[in-house]
Structure formats: structure tokens, C-alpha cells
Structure 1
Amino acid sequence: MRIIGGTLKGLRLNPPKNLPVRPTTDLAKEALFNILQNQIELDGIKVLDLFCGTGNITYEFASRGAQQVIGVDRSMQCINYVKDTSRQHGLSQIKTFKADIFKYLQLETDQYDLIFADPPYDMNQIPEIPKIIFERNLLLPGGLLIVEHQSMQNLTNHPAFTEYRQYGHSSFSFFKN
């Protein structure tokens, strides 16, 4: 796992092998950030990273100038790794919360420029993520939600859906406020 852009470009991270995660591949992450560079100014934005796992996406946003990145995961091991890595590399804009994502979303009142969700692919509630985020008005006007999911899953029926990109077995569905 490596940071592919920004101030920490090239930094290799080696999370513990026992973390309960499936990190976004470097290929998919690079493609995602190439898309984002053409759609949104990353410098100064406020990001919510749901199911943050190793912090792979969290660090990438912080490296590229996000003002604040909130990483949420239910695994204390993952949260501790993200906290330690953030502290080690001076990424003070990263904050973490250990929580069930769906409970967290029901209580969240802040709004974000960008929300990224990378749930376990076998999770049945993946289609609920856009529904809850838009019902709870968690995106700022013009804000973007990106959900990473298995390529065979279809999230296009949500009214805010705008785009779908596939990278092997992984796909990104984009939703705009």
C-alpha cells in the first residue's frame, strides 16, 4: 500500500496482516483520484471516510490537502493503526471514530464535501448507504458520495446516482448532491 499523490507521495505503508480489511488496490485508487482531480478541488475539503480500514483512502485525501478527514470503522485495531500512522506522519487533519457505520450515520449532523464508503463487499446494506446519506443531508451542496462495491452490484437506481466506474472486481458508484 502506498500514497500515490500529494505531500506524502510514494510513502509505503505496511499495515499489520491481521487487520479485518480489503484495502482498495493501488490501481483502483489511482484511477479514482485521477477522476476526482477533474471533478473537485481536493485542497481544503472536508471528507468522511466510512469503513476506513487501514486508512488507505484517508491518508490519500490528507496527503492531497484535505482540511479534515474523518475515518470511521468498527474495528478498534484499524482505528488504532490509522491514529498511530497519522500521528507518525504529522497528519493532524485526520480524526478517527470507532463505530458501527450505520449507527454513526444516524447520529452524524456535520456535512461533508466528499464521503467515501468502502464497505465489506458481502454486506447486504450497501444500497442503504446512499439512501441514508441523502436522507440525513450529510453532503454539502455540490458534494460527492463515492461507494466502492463489487462490480456485479448495481447502485444506479438512486436518484442522485451520476456515474459508475469498474476496475476488475471493484467498482465505484458516484452520487452528487
Structure 2
Amino acid sequence: MRIISGIYKSRKIVAPKNLPVRPTTDMAKESLFNIINNLYYFDAISVLDLFAGTGNISYEFASRGTENITCVDQDFGCIKFINQTSDKFEMPIQTIKSDVFKFLEKTSMQSNLIFADPPYNFSIEQFSKIPELVFSNNLLLEDGLLIIEHSKHTDLSHITNFAYSKSYGGNMFSFFEAS
């Protein structure tokens, strides 16, 4: 994987093969960040990266100037890799090793943007639980956005607070906003 833009542009990051991850493709990530770039100033937002995996999305935010980034993942290897990479590049990324659903139930941390990249084989009920917890616990700041990455074969348009979706290859991003 590589960083698309910002101060770490073109840096390659090689994750260990044994991590249980499916990093967002460069094409999909570039398209996603083009959308986000039109909505926010990167240096003025806080980001919560759920199911962070390799930290791919968080590195992109850090490279573009975001200074308040928190990654949540339940896998120790993923958290260790994110910590090592963010230390190496001196990126302002905090990590929390936790089950994402338990974290969302207990946290009061609010963010401008919450990005979730759960396993593509999640059930609709599991996908639905993410926006349910985010909105019922008021975890988005004013004009905040929840983005869930999923397979193009999964339809989340019926879930409360769904705004729109964008498809890139086999990837889809569903955007959720407070009503």
C-alpha cells in the first residue's frame, strides 16, 4: 500500500503478511479522499478509524495534515503495526485495542469523521449496528460524517441516517449523516 498525497506522498508501507486485513485499494482510497477533500480541511478535523487494520486510511489523513486521529482494532498485531508505523513517520495517531462494538458502546469521544472498514462478510445486522451506535451515542460532531466501506454486493441504503454511496471497483463507501 502507498500513501496517495500529502507530506508522505508515495511512501510505501508494507504490512506483515500475517495480519487479518484487507487494505482499501489505492484507487478506492484516492477516490474517497477526493470526496473528503471537498468537505473538510484536513488540518481542522478529528478522525476515528474503526476496524483500522493496517492503519492505511489513518496514514492518509496524517499525511494530509490531520492531527487528531484515533484507530480502533481488536487485533494486537494490527495495533502494534500501526504504532510502529506512526512512530516511524512521527504521525499523530493514537491506538485503542478493543472490540469496535464495545468501544462504540462505552466511548464519549466525538469526531468530525468516523471511518469504518469492517469485514466484508459482516451480516446486515452487524453493519447496521455501527451507525446505530454512532448516532445513538452522539459520536459525530456537527456536520460530521460516518463512512462505512463494504463490498458492492452489500446494500446499506435502508439503514437510518444513510445519505448516499459511491462505488469503486469491488469497493463501496456508504455515507451517513445526522438527520
TM-score bucket (shorter structure): over 0.9
Equivalence for 1:149: 150
Which residue of 2 is the match for residue 90 of structure 1? 90
Q: Normalising by the residue count of structure 2, what TM-score does the alignment of the two structures yield?
A: 0.96
Q: 5+ residue gaps in structure 2?
A: none
Match of 1:138 in 2: 139
Query: Could you list the runs of 4 or more consecutive aligned residues of structure 1 that deviate by over 3 angstroms after TM superposition?
Result: none
User: Which runs of no fewer than 5 residues in structure 1 stay unpaired?
Assistant: none
C-alpha distance in structure 2 between counterparts of 1:128 and 1:140, whole Å: 19
d(CA) in 2 for partners of 1:168, 1:131: 27
How far the C-alpha of 1:49 sits from its partner, in A, is 0.1
Cα distance in 1, alignment partners of residues 58 and 148 from structure 2? 14
Residue 17 of structure 1 is matched in structure 2 by 17
Deviates more, 1:63-72 or 1:153-162: 153-162
Secondary structure (helix, strand or coil) at the match of 1:43 reads: helix
Amino acid at match of 1:76: F
For the aligned residues, what is the CA RMSD?
A: 0.9
Cα offsets for 1:16-56 (capped at 9, x unmatched): 11110000000100000011111222112110000000000
Deviation at 1:130, TM superposition (A): 0.8
Q: Report the AA paired with residue 73 of structure 2.
A: D
**Shift of residue 118, structure 1, vs aligned partner:** 0.1
- Tell me the SS of whatever aligns to 2:104: helix
Identity of aligned residues (%): 50
**C-alpha separation in 2, matches of 1:94 and 1:30:** 20
Aligned residue pairs, count: 176
Counterpart of 1:144, as a letter, is L
Q: In 2, Cα distance between the equivalents of 1:44 and 1:88?
A: 23
Normalising by structure 1, we get a TM-score of 0.97
Q: After alignment, is 150-159 or 136-145 more displaced?
A: 150-159
Question: What SS is found at the alignment partner of 1:140?
Answer: strand
**Aligned residue number for residue 112 of structure 2:** 113
